[in-house]
Amino acid sequence: GAGVSQTPSNKVTEKGKYVELRCDPISGHTALYWYRQSLGQGPEFLIYFQGTGAADDSGLPNDRFFAVRPEGSVSTLKIQRTERGDSAVYLCASSRLDPLAGGRETQYFGPGTRLLVL
Amino acid sequence: GENVEQHPSTLSVQEGDSAVIKCTYSDSASNYFPWYKQELGKRPQLIIDIRSNVGEKKDQRIAVTLNKTAKHFSLHITETQPEDSAVYFCAAISYSGAGSYQLTFGKGTKLSVIP
């Protein structure tokens, strides 16, 4: 079946511009996660959605970052006034939500969006 | 919050030899430990995971061990092949509060299998 998809695959923008990154989770997956991966590092948690609501946005670095998931499926990560330090690969992951699993559901990752801020 | 340390950062082995990657974690409440393989420019892919009610899990040439007392877990790859070359990440799940669980990743190990 179709996996997690992300668009665009690459995005080049200028400092100060606004960007939107899209994530299409696996159909039926209620949980959706955004991560940021810098070169040579592991993915770092940004935000978690359970359905339509952001259940945990504690990983967002500052108020320039915002994410939405209005219908509980597709999610958009929005970055305002981009800075060169925002350059990274932004990964999306999705999983089923099992109330009995205690968070131990397998997360499936998308291919990422490589963001370069000039 | 959770802190995951991973060693070594790079590992080179001859084809056919074994490779071992080790991780430690800080949150004693963590109870789920997945391992992901990431090839250059590709998405992280789950290769094996272990839950805290078991000490070892094996899937063909891949095995993971967990020592909850010492708070460390390891990935073992036997009979390595060139296609095993990739970056491997360990991770640990922890409860962040407000009904949310977070995966915290190690910094990765770049494994090179030399033919």
Read off the pLDDT of residues B42-56 as tens digits, 9 standing for 90 and up.
999 999 999 877 799
Does residue B77 have a pLDDT over 80?
Answer: yes
Could you tell me which of B82, B84, B88 has the C-alpha nearest to residue B60? B84
A contacts of B27 (beta carbons < 8 Å): none
| Contact criterion met (CB < 8 Å) for A58 and B43 | no
Does residue A8 have a pLDDT over 90?
Answer: yes
User: Mean of the pLDDT values across residues A20-31?
Assistant: 95
Q: A7 to chain B, minimum CA–CA distance in Å? A: 13
Query: Is B23's Cβ below 8 Å from some Cβ in A?
Result: no
Q: Which residue of A has its CA nearest to B39?
A: A111
Does residue A87 have a pLDDT over 70?
Answer: yes
Predicted confidence band of residue B98 (pLDDT cuts 50, 70, 90): low
Inter-chain Cβ pairs, chain A and chain B, closer than 8 A: 66
**CA distances to A15, A88, A96 from A10, in Å:** 16, 10, 27
Query: Is B45's Cβ below 8 Å from some Cβ in A?
Result: yes
Predicted confidence band of residue B94 (pLDDT cuts 50, 70, 90): confident
Give the largest CA-CA distance in chain A.
Answer: 45
| Contact criterion met (CB < 8 Å) for A103 and B95 | yes
| Angle CA B17–B21–A6, to nearest 5 | 110
| pLDDT averaged over every residue in chain B | 94
* Per-residue model confidence (pLDDT) at position A99: 65
Query: Is B115's Cβ below 8 Å from some Cβ in A?
Result: no
User: Mean of the pLDDT values across residues A51-74?
Assistant: 91
A55 closest CB neighbour out of B31, B100, B105? B100
The proportion of chain A whose per-residue pLDDT surpasses 90, expressed as a percent, equals 79
